[in-house]
Amino acid sequence: MVVFETSSGATRSFPMNAGLTATEMGDALIAAAAEFGLIGDYDRSKFENDDARPYDADDALGLFQALVTAHGLLAIHRSRIGGNAGPIQLWPHGFDLAFEWFGTRMVATSDMAESSEAPAQINLGLYPAGDAYFYSNPWPFDAGSLLDIELPDGAAWYTDGWEGSMLAYADVAGAPDGPERVLAYARAVFDAAEPGLTD
């Protein structure tokens, strides 16, 4: 069920098993937003698709359980490392659950002609689609110091296409020591990266 709720308490509900296409669901949400006075210039290309969208309740429950478990592990790791950490969020672009920890080192960045500084950082998250995986990506990524550090069983550094580390969800899901392995992986990456993220 997708629930659209305003701060005043007005709601509209859209059942996921109603057989709506992505286009129909997007149109329904935009109509509900307009009904509540939220008018915007929506990029419809982000959701327009008239393919059938079957809803599998078992798959949905499995995803929900994976996200709940991951949230608990992220919260434990976040509390253990302390410091300046952002909230645990569900990111819409990939539907991954993650948080970011910010170091004290400031890094020069440029966006087109504009230059600025941003804090060095590291994230921890779960990407749930396809071959799901936990990830932790330090930024900036210092390949010279990080790639020589061995990660716990099953985890590996990656530099092809993006820079960071991964631990396959299938390797830890349902395993009696799965939670401990995820936390050991997260700690190992953090300990390896943290000196380069702080002054």
Q: Cα separation of 100 and 39, whole Å?
A: 32
Same domain, 115 and 35: no
Between CA 20 and CA 14 the distance in angstroms is 9
Please report, as a single letter, which amino acid is at residue 134: F
Q: What's the pLDDT at 111?
A: 76
Those residues of the chain that have pLDDT short of 70 are: none
For residues 40 and 116, state if they share a domain: no
Is the domain of 77 the same as that of 172?
A: yes
Return d(Cα 186, Cα 74) in angstroms, integer.
9
Residue 110 DSSP label: E
Q: Is residue 51 situated within a structural domain?
A: no
What is the predicted pLDDT for the residue at 25? Answer: 92
Number of domains into which the chain is organized: 2
For residue 89, the enclosing domain spans 57-197
Q: Are residues 138 and 78 in the same domain?
A: yes
Residues 129 and 187 in one domain: yes
Is residue 113 located within the same domain as residue 178?
yes
Q: What SS3 class is residue 36?
A: coil
Contact 106, 120 (CB under 8 A): yes
Do 20 and 39 sit in the same domain of this protein?
yes
Model confidence, pTM:
0.82
Where does residue 56 fall: left (phi above 0), alpha (psi -120 to 50 degrees), or beta otherwise?
A: beta
Decide: 185 and 152 in contact? Cβ < 8 Å.
Answer: yes
Q: Do both 15 and 63 map to the same domain? A: no
pLDDT tens, 48-95? 999 988 889 999 999 999 999 999 999 999 999 999 999 999 998 889
The answer to whether the beta carbons of residues 77 and 123 sit under 8 Å apart is: no
